[in-house]
Amino acid sequence: MKITTLFSVVMLSLLLPAQAAVMLIYHHVASDTPRVSSVTADELRGHLQYFKDHNFQVIGLDVLIRQLQQGEAIADNALVISFDDSYENNFSTAHPILQEFGYPYTIFISPGSIDKRDGPLLSWAQVKQMSDDGVLVANHAMWHEHMAKPDAGESAQQWRERMKQSILQAEDAIERHTGQRHQWLAYPYGEYSRELEQLVSELGFIGIGQQSGAIGNHTVLTRIPRFPAAGQYANLKDLAQKLKTLAFHITDDHKVDPVISTANPPTLTLSMQVADFHPAQLQCFAGSEVIKPQWLNDSTFSVTATKPVPRGRSRYNCTAPSVSKKGYYYWYSQPWLNQP
Ligand SMILES: [Zn+2]
């Protein structure tokens, strides 16, 4: 490539918003299950029809991960569908609807829970049937355990070994039953930590969270975000906005750890390329509270809630409208886990 061509390609990539994909997370597809983690069959059908009518490219997670790993351009309007927790209604209700649309999707399953028949879960025969029909089957830890940090009385070394066993046992079981081995781990409850990301990376796995946000070429592959699509998030007006999101090009996350160990409220500091949004239009929220980001220089801001984040899981969300792509928002979500 000539230097001048290279230069114009580099300039173009600085001026254009990066292409981004969005991954959705579903659980139940039923009308008699907890609303917070459910869509009805009609709602699911409505979502899929919307994707079709609006020219979303529903791609398999295998395709997206290959594009991310190889630095390929992400397809415009790329959309990935995933289901966690292997509920039986995924087979009886969701699967036929997804097949009707011809859309690929992924189920994240916990093999230990399936072995124990721990609830209204898929059987291995159903998992195998879905796998044979082209459904991607991936890892949600062996027992759906809280993974981010050691249990009380457990050493860091013991915790690490237990997590490693959970991840590898689950992967082996999935391979034994389906022949699939992707090495994608969706963290149960979306809970992760820097130490867990380190382990996941050392094991050669991809890590997938439940914090919201778009996925771009600079997304860290041990905490790929997903947007929830069930319960209060199932309505198409809100979902449509989530589908029109872009990923901030973050250049430094200043080692942010979701696990709150000292300062609460925690401070989120991010450095990023500020090319396609106005810094003054960046808005951040802790839950529903607006929190004001402070720009430390041209490319770095930090933000801290005014009061401590609650026990358990919470988030800071930051968004900014794209300058060049009308109606689109850059979106970043930082999960916190406060379990003193
Ligand atoms: Zn789960």
Domain ranges of the chain: 17-247, 251-338
Cα dihedral value 150, 152, 157, 159, nearest 10: -40
Question: Above 70 in pLDDT, residue 16?
Answer: no
Amino acid (one-letter) located at 5: T
pLDDT in tens, 248-307: 999 999 999 999 988 999 999 999 999 999 999 999 999 889 999 999 999 999 999 999
Between the CA of 313 and the centroid of ligand 1 the distance, in Å, is: 14
Between the CA of 53 and the centroid of ligand 1 the distance, in Å, is: 30
The pLDDT value recorded for residue 125 is 98
Question: Above 70 in pLDDT, residue 15?
Answer: no
Q: What is the mean pLDDT of residues 312-339?
A: 96
Question: Above 60 in pLDDT, residue 6?
Answer: no
Q: Is the dihedral of CA 19, 197, 105, 133 positive or negative?
A: positive
Between the CA of 30 and the centroid of ligand 1 the distance, in Å, is: 17
pTM of the model: 0.94
Residues 6+ positions from 73 with CB-CB distance below 8 Å: 19, 67, 217
Question: Above 70 in pLDDT, residue 11?
Answer: no
pLDDT in tens, 41-83: 999 999 999 999 999 999 999 999 999 999 999 988 999 999 9
The pLDDT value recorded for residue 17 is 59
Pair of tokens at residue 311: 């026990």
Between the CA of 302 and the centroid of ligand 1 the distance, in Å, is: 31
**Could you tell me how many residues make up the chain?**
340
Contact 232, 242 (CB under 8 A): no
Between the CA of 104 and the centroid of ligand 1 the distance, in Å, is: 20
Between the CA of 146 and the centroid of ligand 1 the distance, in Å, is: 10
Domain 251-338 has CATH 3.30.720: no
Between the CA of 109 and the centroid of ligand 1 the distance, in Å, is: 8
Collect contacts of 65-69 with beta carbons under 8 A, ≥24 apart: 65/182, 65/184, 65/206, 65/221, 68/215, 68/217, 68/219, 68/221, 69/221
Place of tokens 């199932």: 234
Query: Is the preceding omega at residue 188 within 30 degrees of 0, hence cis?
Result: no
Between the CA of 10 and the centroid of ligand 1 the distance, in Å, is: 41
Say what percent of the chain tops pLDDT 90.
91
Between the CA of 188 and the centroid of ligand 1 the distance, in Å, is: 5
Question: Above 70 in pLDDT, residue 201?
Answer: yes
Cα dihedral value 169, 208, 229, 135, nearest 10: -50
Average pLDDT over the chain reads: 94
Helix (H, G, I), strand (E, B) or coil at 332: strand
> Would you say the CATH fold of 251-338 matches that of 17-247?
no
Contact 82, 226 (CB under 8 A): yes
Between the CA of 23 and the centroid of ligand 1 the distance, in Å, is: 15
| Span 17-247 CATH architecture | Alpha-Beta Barrel (3.20)
State how far the Cα of 139 lies from the Cα of 147, in Å rounded to an integer: 13
The pLDDT value recorded for residue 319 is 97
Higher-confidence residue of 4 and 272: namely 272
